[in-house]
Structure 1
Amino acid sequence: MRGTLSAFSAGLREFYEAPYRRTLARAHRDEDDLFTLVVLAEALGVPNPASYYTVEMLPLVADRVHEWHTRLGMDRSPLDHVSCC
């Protein structure tokens, strides 16, 4: 009985979540792109009032620069000191 209920619950969860999975993945990707832009703003030449706090996050974002600029449609990295291509 317990296995049947958990299978039914999993089926209902899939039924209700499936239509929104792509939309939520796109929203998450857009949020990650915005976060990357905020962290790299100072390196791109955009004045960033929070650069003191975002400089600590550069190592977290540095390995995803290639994914970020190719997703935004840039052939090469816009950062002079980061050559990923």
Structure 2
Amino acid sequence: MTPAHGGAQRRERRSRRWGALRDGLQEFYTGPYRRTFLREQRDEDDLFMIVVLGEALGVPDPAAYYSAELLPAVWDDFHAWHTRVGIPRSPLDHVACC
């Protein structure tokens, strides 16, 4: 084994150790708050959905022209959203997802 090869192995081992330490610290600090982060992300996604679908739901939206471009991005999650917020059927006349 050449000295350069031994140095590469040490660097690789050190890199793995630092990676394991980093992963452990990330889990230590974020683990207890994972559920809170997921809830906040869900709430933020719900707000985004309302902003994008606001005009279709009858809410006046001065930026409807721009938010209409985002409609294709939310169609995939539309059914999960309206059932999660307590609307049993699609609130939009032109979208029948159920």
User: Which structure has the higher relative contact order (CA within 8 Å, separation 6+)?
Assistant: 1
**2:73 paired with 1:63:** no
Residue 15 of structure 1, aligned match among 28, 49, 54 = 28
The alignment's TM-score, normalised by the length of structure 1, stands at: 0.91
Q: Which amino acid aligns with 1:75?
A: P
CA RMSD of aligned residues (A): 1.1
5+ long unaligned stretches in structure 2: 1-12
Structure 2 partner of 1:40: 53
Provide the aligned length of Structure 1 versus Structure 2.
Answer: 85
Residue 67 of structure 2, aligned match among 49, 54, 60 = 54
Residue 31 of structure 1, aligned match among 38, 44, 47 = 44
Runs (4+) off by over 2 Å: 3-6
How far apart, CA to CA, are the structure 2 residues paired with 1:4 and 1:55? 48
How far apart, CA to CA, are the structure 2 residues paired with 1:12 and 1:77? 44
Deviations 1:9-67, CA, capped at 9 Å, x for gaps: 21121111101111111111111100110111111111111101101011111121101
Larger-Rg structure: 2
The alignment's TM-score, normalised by the length of structure 2, stands at: 0.80
How far apart, CA to CA, are the structure 2 residues paired with 1:28 and 1:5? 29
How far apart, CA to CA, are the structure 1 residues paired with 2:94 and 2:42? 24
How far apart, CA to CA, are the structure 1 residues paired with 2:39 and 2:50? 16
